[in-house]
């Protein structure tokens, strides 16, 4: 089956075409090696960054923006969101502070995206 993927590695946004039956041999349309790796990864093991908010007490706002410090497997997004929803941090928090270390044993932390 032929699949089209838009590469997000750079602003160019190459349209990459690949055959899901033999992806390594059929990846076409990428302008660089990053596009090849992205397309192969997207097909075999898609990864995502999660951005959300978490509860905070003692601050001017009731929620603080957070994100993952790296990519997590796409199938774990809802599990990571559930972990974020479980926490409540106390002010003061600095941008970059680790709020959840090694979330769900992924090797990725949940970090604050704002001083509050």
Is 101 in a helix, a strand, or coil? coil
Cα separation, 36 vs 49, in Å, equals 20
Contacts of 10 (CB under 8 A, 6+ apart): 32, 34
Q: What's the pLDDT score for residue 111?
A: 98
Is 32 in a helix, a strand, or coil? coil
Residues 105 and 56 in one domain: yes
Residues 37 and 72 in one domain: no
Query: What are 77's two structure tokens?
Result: 């997004």
Over residues 2-53, the pLDDT tens digits come to 889 999 888 999 999 988 887 777 888 989 889 888 888 888 899 999 999 9
Q: How many CB atoms lie under 10 A from the CB of residue 76?
A: 18
Residues 60 and 96 in one domain: yes
Total domains present in the chain: 2
Residues 29 and 66 in one domain: no
What are the backbone dihedrals phi and psi of residue 75, each rounded to the nearest 5 degrees, phi first?
Answer: -70, -10
Structural domain harbouring 15: 2-44
Residues 24 and 65 in one domain: no
Strands 98-100 and 88-90: unpaired
Residues 15 and 63 in one domain: no
Residues 72 and 37 in one domain: no
CB of 8 closer than 8 Å to CB of 34: no
Over residues 46-74, the pLDDT tens digits come to 999 999 999 999 999 999 999 999 999 99
Q: What's the pLDDT score for residue 25?
A: 74
What is the pTM assigned to this prediction?
0.83
Q: What is the DSSP letter of 53?
A: E
């Amino acid at each position: 089956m032929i699949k089209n993927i838009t590469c997000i590695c750079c602003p160019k946004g190459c349209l990459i075409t690949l055959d899901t039956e033999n992806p390594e041999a059929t990846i076409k349309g990428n302008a660089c090696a990053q596009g090849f790796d992205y397309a192969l990864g997207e097909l075999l093991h898609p990864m995502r960054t999660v951005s959300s908010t978490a509860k905070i007490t003692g601050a001017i706002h009731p929620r603080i923006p957070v994100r993952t410090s790296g990519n997590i497997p796409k199938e774990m997004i809802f599990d990571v969101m559930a972990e974020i929803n479980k926490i409540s941090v106390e002010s003061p928090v600095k941008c970059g502070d680790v709020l959840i270390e090694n979330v769900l044993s992924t090797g990725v932390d949940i970090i604050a995206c704002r001083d509050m």
